[in-house]
Amino acid sequence: MTHKLAIDGGKPVRQQPFHPWPVYDHQEEEALLEVLHSGRWGVLDGTRVTEFEKQFANFQNAQFGICVPNGTLALQLALIALGVGPGDEVITTPYTFIATASSIIQVGAAPVFIDIQPGTHNIAPDLIEGAITPRTRAIMPVHLSGRPADMDAILALAQKYNLFVIEDACQAWGSEWRGKKVGAIGNAGGFSFQASKNITAGEGGIVITNDEALSERCWSIHNVGRIRAGAWYQHEVLGWNLRLPEWEGAILQVQLARLPGHMLRREENVNYLTRLIQAEVPGLIPPAEDPRITAHSHHLLILNYQPAAFGGHSRDEFVDAMSAEGITPISNGYIPLHQSPAIQRAMGEANIAHLSLPVAEQAGRKSLWFNQHIFLGTHQDMEDIVEAAKKIQTAWS
């Protein structure tokens, strides 16, 4: 028996919403009010942001952390503090949020896009070496969805060619590569606490590193060029005001304490959904397993959609049909950045429009994304997703 699809006017598989996001309770409320009533609203008077910097760096197996207003500025700050600028090239992935590349362009350097690896959606380690030129200064891998990039291969190349490694860990709170948390495996890493991210204060970001001199440069640049022991109006370098207000620090402390429990929940539901999909929905392909990934934030679950298994219907049609069935936290994901009009204009269309990066382009057409907050829900939620996919597959086959 086939049921009429919701997109054709049938009854949707599901009507109730998925797990809400953000998650908060009285702890955030109390932390916020405490800052409010303390009158210490700025990081230079208060303790919340400074405490959070230490706690997050520690959680992420790093020595130093410097909070900034968002993840984009975290990446930019790391680049500037490492001296990456005009004339330099930074090797990175095109299948990522625009901020990875815009941070490189906005410090005056040029992103060099190489293709991704099928099955991981991360930078293809075996293509990096061929992209290295005398101008290459750094590699910026992205731990996309929270899945660590191949840090062994990346560090080996960085060492061989004397390059910096700046990790875009903006989706990878708590993710581990061979037992070590990401972010400070290379020289430095940036994280985001924007509203959709697994821990959030609405906005926010942090740079982490194990390099003390680098952390001091970041601190100085983020605090209008002051130095720690210096006078208020003593500015040693040109910086910005990239300081975070204390309420964000207060909220982030509570959010960080909640993260380990949330990570277990997401892991459990992602595994359950993946098993169900593998058993019951041919044509939706989960990412490849990799035993070197010892913890995964599951900011996203990215599946590879195969139109042939759905009567030739496109990924976009599938996303629309799923949404109509009430599976709303599903999306199409990124357009690869070498195809982004903004990046093409910024870099000069002639410089990148000719690039052919077939795996990233395929990912742009065939990826299906599920967002982290649905994995905080129940097994029933996962079963509804599978039921909707099967219903569509049956109707279209």
Sole window of 36-44, 47-55, 168-176, 359-367 interacting with ligand PLP (rule: CB under 6 A): 168-176
Q: Which stretch binds ligand PLP (CB under 6 A): 3-11, 65-73, 221-229, 308-316?
A: 65-73
Least distance in angstroms from the C-beta of 157 to ligand PLP? 21
Q: Each residue of 298-337: b (16+ CB within 10 Å) or e?
A: bbbbbbbbebebbeebebebbbebbbbbbbebbebbbbbb
Compute the distance between CA of residue 320 and CA of residue 110 in angstroms, rounded to an integer: 36
Of the pair 63, 194, the CB lying nearest ligand PLP is at: 194
Q: Least separation, in Å, of the C-beta of 143 and ligand PLP?
A: 8
How would you classify the pairing of strands 136-140 and 110-113? unpaired
Contacts of 362 (CB under 8 A, 6+ apart): 118
Read off the DSSP letter of residue 148: P
Beta carbon nearer to ligand PLP, 171 or 372: 171
- Residue 145 binding ligand PLP, by CB under 6 A: no
Among 59, 97, 173, 334, binds ligand PLP (CB under 6 A): 97
Decide: 303 and 368 in contact? Cβ < 8 Å. yes
Among 53, 88, 89, 168, binds ligand PLP (CB under 6 A): 168
Cβ proximity to ligand PLP: between 72 and 209 the closer is 72
CA 262-263-268 angle, 5° bins: 100
Stretch of residues binding ligand PLP (CB under 6 A), selected from 113-121, 166-174, 353-361, 362-370: 166-174
70 binding ligand PLP? (CB under 6 A): yes
Distance of CA 326 to the CA centre of its chain: 26
188 binds ligand PLP (CB under 6 A): no
Output 141 or 326, the one with its CB closest to ligand PLP: 141
Least gap, CB of 99 to ligand PLP (angstroms) = 4
Q: Sketch the per residue contact string, 196 through 225, with ligand PLP: x for CB under 6 A, - otherwise.
A: ---------x--------------------
Residue type at 347 in one-letter notation: M
Under 8 Å between Cβ of 138 and 87 = no
> Closest approach of Cβ 357 to ligand PLP, in Å?
17
**The two structure tokens encoding residue 44:** 């230079």
d(CA 373, CA 299): 8
Q: Establish if 255 lies at the interface with ligand PLP (CB under 6 A).
A: no
Give whichever of 69 and 283 is closer to ligand PLP, judged by the CB atom. Answer: 69
Q: H helices of the chain, where?
A: 26-38, 48-59, 71-81, 98-106, 125-128, 151-161, 212-222, 246-280, 315-324, 341-347, 349-352, 358-366, 379-396
Residues that bind ligand PLP (CB under 6 A): 70-72, 96-97, 99-100, 142, 168, 170-171, 192, 194, 205
